[in-house]
Amino acid sequence: MIHLDNKHFKLLQDKIYELSGIHIVDSKFAMIKNRVVKLMKDIHCDDVGGLLVMVDRDKKIAQDFINVFTTNKTDFFRESFHFDDLLDRVLPQLFKTQSRIKIYCCASSTGQEPYSIASTVAYAKKIYNASTQVEIIATDIDTQVLSIAKEGKYTINPLLEKWPKWAESETSEFFDVVDESNKVRHLSVKPKLKNMVSFRQLNLFNKKYPFNNEEFDVVFCRNILIYFTKPDQEAILQRLFALLRVGGTFYLGHSESLYDLADQTEKLGHKIFIRQR
Ligand SMILES: C[S@@+](CC[C@H](N)C(=O)[O-])C[C@H]1O[C@@H](n2cnc3c(N)ncnc32)[C@H](O)[C@@H]1O
């Protein structure tokens, strides 16, 4: 019988913070408990002290430990005004001025967000008759969600997940509709979108990111900062902001803030920011 109390939870909190920067608040203990117990059973470990030693010694167990603590909730076209802005303002401008566009999605979870970006790009290319090369780099710390994203197979309920009208009517352009029974839709991402997106693992808590300053025209940083403390959010934002070229667009999640960096941006509302300096 595995026993987990508040003292153990504090040890787990410290370890996940050290590995990922994720700040697990006390009220999440009950939610996390079952997941930790499952991991401990899987690796035949019955006390938290032993688990932490195994995490320190074994990279695979450390990764499984990180995967236990991530929250991966996501949807296609979540906060859809960002995709409207990409389609109506950002892409037509960039198609006119650039031969190559780079977009960064920094917490891509199971892939719905980067594939929504890729669908928007593919549709924009069609309606604006553009042949500009577009590359989307998508990263996450969680290896399990990255493998789901790479596979690109989804089950969606169109009644619960509202897509923009254009995306609804273009579904078969971007996805193979494998099955549409029982009110849910089984979709498989077509190579046309898959080829636009490359998935990699990246821990945003790392002090350095493997990209150049001003490498990206657009950065999506949505619903990820909320898992960090305010000082860590500010440090992550500084690193992400440096990757965005001056004039580029930064999309932030609805409950997140740019803090002092907002002074260096033009604010378009809906957490859409243009880097000014
Ligand atoms: C709630 S999901 C948000 C997904 C997507 N951006 C959206 O808005 O729908 C948060 C994601 O952040 C990832 N994450 C958590 N800590 C991270 C870290 N230190 N570095 C990179 N990704 C992290 C999680 O694995 C998870 O997939």
Strand order in the sheet with 216-221: 197-201, 133-140, 100-105, 216-221, 244-252, 272-275, 265-269
Residue 35 designated active-site: yes
Q: Which of 24, 31, 140, 161 to mutate to test the pocket of ligand 1 (most atoms within 8 A of CB)?
A: 140
192-122-146 Cα angle (round to 5):
55
Quick check: is 74 in a domain? no
Q: Are residues 20 and 142 in the same domain?
A: no
- Which of 109, 203, 205, 207 for a ligand 1 pocket mutation test, highest count of atoms within 8 Å of Cβ? 109
Q: What is the pLDDT of residues 9-21, one digit of tens each?
A: 999 999 999 999 9
Domain harbouring 65, CATH code:
1.10.155.10
- How many other C-beta atoms can be found within 10 angstroms of the C-beta atom of residue 79? 19
Indicate whether residue 236 lines ligand 1 (CB < 6 A): no
Question: What is the extent of the structural domain holding 28?
Answer: 6-69
Ligand 1 geometric centre to CA of 139 (Å): 9
**Residue 36, domain member (yes or no):** yes
Residue 105's contacts (CB-CB under 8 Å, 6 or more residues apart) are 113, 114, 117, 136, 137, 138, 139, 220
* Rounded mean pLDDT, 104-130: 98
Q: Is the pLDDT of residue 130 over 90?
A: yes
Q: Which of 69, 97, 120 is the last residue of a domain?
A: 69
The dihedral through the CA atoms of 200, 205, 207, 213 has a sign that is: positive
- 113 & 171 share domain: yes
What is the mean predicted confidence (pLDDT) over 153-158?
93
User: Is 246 within a domain?
Assistant: yes
Condensed to tens digits (0 to 9), the pLDDT of residues 71-109 reads: 999 999 999 999 999 999 999 999 999 999 999 999 999
pLDDT attached to residue 3: 86
Label residue 145 by pLDDT band (50, 70, 90). Answer: very high
What's the 224 CA to ligand 1 centre distance in angstroms?
5
Express as a percent the part of the chain with pLDDT over 90: 92
Q: Which residues pair with 275 in a beta bridge?
A: 265
Share of the chain above pLDDT 70, in %: 100
Q: Which of 69, 90, 113 is the last residue of a domain?
A: 69
Mean pLDDT of 122-150: 98
Q: Is 145 in the pocket of ligand 1 (CB under 6 A)?
A: yes
| 47 shares its domain with 127 | no
Tell which atom from ligand 1 comes closest to the C-alpha of 73.
1
Please tell me whether residues 31 and 141 are part of one structural domain.
no
Which of 85, 140, 142, 217 is labelled catalytic? 140
Question: Is ligand 1 within 6 A of the CB of residue 72?
Answer: yes
- Find the CATH number of the domain harbouring 185: 3.40.50.150
Confidence check: pLDDT of 70 > 80? yes
Are 64 and 200 in the same domain?
no
Res. 218: pLDDT tops 90? yes
Burial 139-165 (b: 16+ CB within 10 A, else e): bbbbebbbebbeebebebeeeeeebbe
Mutating to test ligand 1, I would choose from 24, 70, 139, 228 the residue with most ligand atoms within 8 A of its C-beta, which is 70
Whether 75 is in a domain gets the answer: no
Q: How far is the CA of 1 from the centre of ligand 1 (A)?
A: 32
- Residue 76 falls inside a structural domain: no
Q: How far is the CA of 129 from the centre of ligand 1 (A)?
A: 34
Q: Could you tell me the sign of the dihedral formed by the alpha carbons of 183, 187, 193, 198, in that order?
A: positive
Residue 204 has pLDDT above 80, yes or no: yes
**Judgement on whether residues 87 and 124 belong to the same structural domain of the protein:** yes
Q: Give the Å distance between the CA of 140 and the centre of ligand 1.
A: 6
Last residue of a domain, one of 69, 94, 124: 69
Alpha carbon dihedral 259, 78, 95, 245, in 10-degree steps, equals 20
Same domain, 149 and 238: yes
> What is the distance between the alpha carbons of residues 92 and 209, in angstroms, rounded to a whole number?
29
Burial of 69 (0-12, 13-18, 19+ CB in 10 A): buried
pLDDT number for residue 13: 96
Check if 200 is active-site.
no
Ligand 1 touching residue 22 (CB < 6 A): yes
Mean pLDDT of the chain: 96
pLDDT > 90? residue 159: no
Q: How far apart are CA 65 and CA 63, in angstroms?
A: 5
Number of domains in the chain: 2
180, 238: one domain = yes
DSSP 150: H
Is the C-beta atom of 140 inside 6 A of ligand 1? yes
Taking the CA atoms of 274, 217, 131 and 253 in sequence, report the sign of the dihedral they define.
Answer: negative
Distance 251 CA to ligand 1 centre (A): 14
